[in-house]
């Protein structure tokens, strides 16, 4: 029952979040998954490391695939290169069992995560404000 309530709360948060807040949440998720992968490496839990790294890879791949290259211009182009680099480093997490590779990606994610949280906070403060033209990634929710 408790898990179901938690899932309902999370769904409510997702459905009511601004586009900027959704992107910030994706960065949070990727960072927490990579932290979990590091912990799993330190505890020799290969399966847990693999699961956490795969999920983090999916989040970053989603961010990469949803970049709006047309509207995002140079920022989107730079993010595209950065996401590609991150995905290559995440291969090392599994292939080399590398906590260092996961730490590198977290360090790259952190300034982006903070920026998106600042943008989300600004957009949450003014519901009339449309952040679509400053959001380099469009988030889509599928059923």
pLDDT digits (tens, 9 = 90+) for 65-87: 999 999 999 999 999 999 999 99
Burial class, 92, CB count within 10 angstroms (exposed 0-12 / middle 13-18 / buried 19+):
middle
Q: What is the pLDDT averaged over residues 84-94?
A: 97
* pLDDT per position as a tens digit, 15-72: 556 888 899 999 999 999 999 999 999 999 999 999 999 999 999 999 999 999 999 9
Give the pLDDT score at 2: 72
Lookup: tokens for 136: 């380099």
Give the pLDDT score at 128: 44
Burial class, 30, CB count within 10 angstroms (exposed 0-12 / middle 13-18 / buried 19+):
buried
Contacts of residue 108, defined as CB under 8 A and 6 or more positions apart, other chains included, come to 82, 85, 86
Give the pLDDT score at 4: 75
Give the pLDDT score at 16: 54
Give the pLDDT score at 12: 60
The SS3 assignment for 119 reads: helix
Query: H helices of 2-134, where?
Result: 2-16, 19-42, 46-65, 69-95, 99-125
* pLDDT per position as a tens digit, 105-128: 999 999 999 999 999 898 876 544
Please give the Cα distance from 108 to 106 (Å, whole number): 5
Q: What's the CA angle centered on 124, arms 123 and 130, to 5 degrees?
A: 35
Quick one: fold of 18-134? 1.20.120
pTM for this one? 0.77
CA distances 106 to 9, 22, 45, 114, Å, are 27, 18, 20, 12
Helices 19-42 and 99-125: crossing angle, nearest 10°?
160
Which of these, 87, 123, 122, lies nearest to 105 by C-alpha position? Answer: 87
Question: Does residue 133 carry a pLDDT above 60?
Answer: no
């Amino acid at each position: 029952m408790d898990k179901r309530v938690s899932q309902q709360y999370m769904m409510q948060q997702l459905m009511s979040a601004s586009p900027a807040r959704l992107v910030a949440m994706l960065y949070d998720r990727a960072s927490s998954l990579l932290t979990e992968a590091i912990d799993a490496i330190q505890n020799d839990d290969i399966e847990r490391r693999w699961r956490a790294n795969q999920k983090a890879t999916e989040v970053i791949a989603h961010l990469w695939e949803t970049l709006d290259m047309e509207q995002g211009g140079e920022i989107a182009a730079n993010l595209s290169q950065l996401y590609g680099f991150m995905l290559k480093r995440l291969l090392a997490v599994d292939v080399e069992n590398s906590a260092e590779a996961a730490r590198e990606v977290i360090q790259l994610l952190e300034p982006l995560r903070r920026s998106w949280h600042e943008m989300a906070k600004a957009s949450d403060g003014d519901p009339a404000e449309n952040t679509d033209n400053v959001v380099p990634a469009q988030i889509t929710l599928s059923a």
